[in-house]
Amino acid sequence: MIEVKHIAVRKGGKTIISDISFTVKPGKITVVVGKNGAGKSTLLETLSGANPLSEGEIFWEHQPYSTLSPQQLATLRAVLSQQVTLGFPLTVNELVEMGTYVSPHHLSRLSIRKFVRQALKKVELPSFGNRDFTSLSGGEQKRVLLAKCMVQLNCCQQPGINQYLFLDEPTASLDIQQQHKLISWIKEWAKQRNLGIFAILHDLNLVAQFADEILIMNSGRMVARGAPEEVLTPEILLETMDIHALVQPHPVFTCPHITTLPESLELHSQ
């Protein structure tokens, strides 16, 4: 379990996030939402090791985050960034194989090829291995990067050691069908591997279907926290995100369904 206790991050004399506490549990999916500039990406970067803390503490399985080396962190967590830009050509196989570089164990070429092949098959790109990564569509690139994360965590898996996956807007650049596929892959993977998932998402209906716990941020602070049915209410969405919404039970899934409304229709939604 990752325990976040009253953390703050300051950059250039400005407080970006302040007094935030929560946990990321193995096998559970925690999703953070909020308006642009709320501090979501800074929070994810801080959890993944990119930002120093100004206040508070983070513990990974009761071990202070500050005592973990970059090498140790690389075996414990993978990060699917929102955008990756390559300045040189690289095949899909070569990029996904980079996930094995952090392995603390020597891996044979046969093992490496097996990790890569299995991951590309999982994201439904088994024939893309020799393609130039930069020639792919944005959605295809996102799926290749998820395969790289899969390889990284799979090759570093150790009995009794929990691992985590951080996702920064993982459904960006994906069409609706691929959004649902990616969410399903991640949910299945989290359950099978007992992975803790921490994600940033903007689509509130995907969040409702995906998350075990939702954190709502505003102006660098956490202003609501709970299960989808607890925090995705018209009152909380209006108060925390300035969203007028009609919230009803989902017709298929056991979660809320949110219909966002223009402000001019707000009275009709009451």
Tokens 């899909």 belong to 92
Check pLDDT > 50 for residue 257.
yes
The two tokens of residue 103 are: 């392995």
What is residue 264's predicted lDDT score, i.e. its pLDDT?
Answer: 59
Banded model confidence at residue 268, pLDDT cuts 50, 70, 90: very low
Contact in structure between 212 and 237 (CB atoms under 8 Å): no
The two tokens of residue 64 are: 């202070």
What is residue 265's predicted lDDT score, i.e. its pLDDT?
Answer: 61
The two tokens of residue 128 are: 């893309």
Strand 2-11 and strand 55-60: pairing? antiparallel
Contact in structure between 13 and 182 (CB atoms under 8 Å): no
Specify burial of residue 210 (Cβ count, 10 A radius: 0-12, 13-18, 19+).
buried
Rounded average pLDDT over 21-27:
95
What is residue 266's predicted lDDT score, i.e. its pLDDT?
Answer: 54
Strand partners, 14: 11
DSSP 107-133: --HHHHHHHHHHHHHHTT-TT-TTSBG
Quote the CA–CA distance of 198 and 167 in Å, as a whole number. Answer: 6
Rounded average pLDDT over 88-115:
92
What pLDDT digit, counting tens, does each position of 198-226 carry? Answer: 999 999 999 999 999 999 999 999 999 99
The two tokens of residue 74 are: 């690389």
Contact in structure between 115 and 105 (CB atoms under 8 Å): no
Q: How large a percentage of the chain has pLDDT more than 90? A: 66
Check pLDDT > 70 for residue 168.
yes
Domains of the chain in sequence order: 2-228 (3.40.50.300)
Please choose, from the candidates 108, 106, 80, the residue with its C-alpha nearest in 3D space to the C-alpha of residue 95: 80
Tokens 């949910």 belong to 187
Rounded average pLDDT over 26-30:
94
